[in-house]
Structure 1
Amino acid sequence: MGGRPSAATRGAFAKSSFQSQLMGVAAFHNTARRSAILPPGPQRIIGTVNDPAPVPEPSSAHGSYHWSFERLLAAGLVPLIVTPFASGSLNPATDAILCSVLLLHSHMGFQSVVIDYIPQKTYPGLRKIFWWLLNAATVTVGVGLYEFETNDVGITEAVKRIWRA
């Protein structure tokens, strides 16, 4: 009749409602929904188990010289950023060197991201597209920085003005 449900009915209702709320949310639940995760890339097996692993051709551009050059650029950015602000003088040559080193540093960093996260074996076409997009973006930013340096106030003066604003 229209009264309150019995204790047994309330307990069963509360338990089923509670269980339905916990479905897929419990900590360390091993059957969680994975609809947001992308499917794995194409799986290819080349050769057999007994084939040796391919050894790449030695190249100093992809080894320690490349790593040393990256570290040299990263370390060189520190004095290039501090010098114009500490000395108080605006030198167009220092500004141009700062822009060049910053552009190279950014390009090499994004290049590492493409190398790390878009494997050549799995996604050769996608990697080539991202490689060309990175090169186009680097050229575009380089032209923009050149225009900003020659036709406007330059990056150091712009940072000074923004800092004082």
Structure 2
Amino acid sequence: MASIARSSLLRQVATKPALQNSIIARAAFHTTAKRDLLPPLPQRVVGTVNDAAPVPPPSPSHGSYHWTFDRLVAASLIPLTVAPFAAGSLNPTMDAVLCATLLIHSHTGFQNIIVDYVPQYRTPRARKAAIWGLNAATVVVGLALYEYETSDVGITETIKRLWKA
């Protein structure tokens, strides 16, 4: 008995004009046209369905050696960051090694992002521009770090002063 009453009650509620007006009002709110922010990349098919997948030529610099180098640089940042503060001495050589390691770590990280997210086969000019931009930014940051190390207090002394401030 309760299920029969419930279905008729729902039918009465659904046919009320107030409910229909609110549905129309909500639908009118969402009728804006969908616009993509960026146009789609060029689409092209190379070869046929039956072609074998291309195998890239083996390169040790883009394989496990590259990954191992990235991990070694990342792991070496831990003692290089802690050593000047734990030892209590601020050595300019250690400061320079820390700056160089940070620069290499940042460069390889951004390079990996470009390689992963800017595909060579779809946007070759954008990828080349991104790589050249990364190389230029790395040179500029390297020169700025060198200037900061030679004519100012250096990275570790700056961190020490900021920590005490």
Q: TM-score, normalised by structure 2?
A: 0.83
Higher share in helix: 2
Q: Deviations over 1:84-138 (max 9, x none)?
A: 1111110001000000000000000000111111100010000111110000000
Take 2:100 and 2:59, find their aligned partners in 1: how far apart are those partners?
25
- Go from structure 1 to structure 2 and tell me whether the alpha carbon gap of 1:95 and 1:23 turns closer, same or farther (over 3 Å shift): farther
1:139 aligned onto 2:139 = yes
How far did 1:38 drift? 3.3
| Paired residues of 1:80 and 1:94 also in contact (CA < 8 A) | yes
Q: TM-score, normalised by structure 1?
A: 0.83
Equivalent positions of 1:89-108 (< 5 A) are 89-108=89-108
% identical equivalent positions: 57
Corresponding residue for residue 125 of structure 1: 125
Corresponding residue for residue 70 of structure 2: 70
Take 1:19 and 1:35, find their aligned partners in 2: how far apart are those partners?
23
List gaps (5 residues or longer) in structure 2.
Answer: 1-15
Corresponding residue for residue 5 of structure 2: none
1:17 aligned onto 2:26 = no
How far did 1:40 drift? 2.9
- Go from structure 1 to structure 2 and tell me whether the alpha carbon gap of 1:45 and 1:154 turns closer, same or farther (over 3 Å shift): same
- Go from structure 1 to structure 2 and tell me whether the alpha carbon gap of 1:58 and 1:38 turns closer, same or farther (over 3 Å shift): same
Q: What amino acid sits opposite 2:107 in the alignment?
A: H
Take 2:17 and 2:100, find their aligned partners in 1: how far apart are those partners?
70
RMSD across aligned C-alpha pairs, in angstroms? Answer: 2.1
Corresponding residue for residue 45 of structure 2: 45
Corresponding residue for residue 87 of structure 2: 87
- Go from structure 1 to structure 2 and tell me whether the alpha carbon gap of 1:33 and 1:105 turns closer, same or farther (over 3 Å shift): farther
Corresponding residue for residue 7 of structure 2: none
How far did 1:24 drift? 7.7
How far did 1:15 drift? 3.4
| Paired residues of 1:24 and 1:33 also in contact (CA < 8 A) | no
